[in-house]
Amino acid sequence: MPDTIDIRIYYEDTDCGGVVYYGKYLGFLEKARTEFLEKRGIKILDLMNEGTYFVVVNVDIRYHKPARYADIITIHTEIEEVTFASITFAHNLYVNGTEIKISTAKVRLATVGTSPSETDMKPKKMAKAMIEALRA
C-alpha cells in the first residue's frame, strides 16, 4: 500500500496561466519521499549527521494532465526497488481527491557518504536496518 500526502497548489507554483510549472513537481516528489522515509523511522537529519546522504541519480517523469492553482494534489509513493546503495521510488499524482492521474514518476536515489576529511561524496552501502525498514 503506498503512502500518500496532499499538497496544496499555491500561486507561486504556477505559470501566468495558472498551470503548475513542470519543475515544481520535483519539489513535490521530494516532499513525498521525505515523508515516506520519516514514517519508516529513517530520519534524514540523523543520516546527514553521521555522514550519509541521498542524491538523486535519475528522474523519469511523465505529465498526463495539468494541475492548476488552488488544486490539492495527492501523491502516492512506494518503493519499486532497494539495493545495497540505492532506492527507486514510484510516484503517482492525482488531483482534487479524484482518480484523475496528473503525473507519474520514478526517482532513483543513491546513498553516498563523506568523512570529516573528505570533500567529495562516494557511494556508501545503506545500513542493514535501513534496507529492512524500506523493504517492510
For 46-88, write each residue's pLDDT tens digit: 999 988 999 999 999 999 999 999 999 999 999 999 999 999 9
Catalytic machinery residues: 15
Domain 3-135 carries which CATH code? Answer: 3.10.129.10
DSSP annotation of 119 reads -
Taking the complete model, does pTM exceed 0.85, yes or no? Answer: yes
Task: Decide: 106 and 53 in contact? Cβ < 8 Å.
Answer: no
- Rounded to whole angstroms, the Cα distance separating 104 from 102 reads 7
CA torsion, ordered 7, 13, 63, 35, to nearest 10 deg: -30
Q: Output the pLDDT for position 122.
A: 86
Q: Output the pLDDT for position 114.
A: 78
130 pLDDT more than 80: yes
Q: Output the pLDDT for position 121.
A: 79
Neighbour tally for 131: CB within 10 Å: 16
Q: Determine the length of the chain.
A: 136
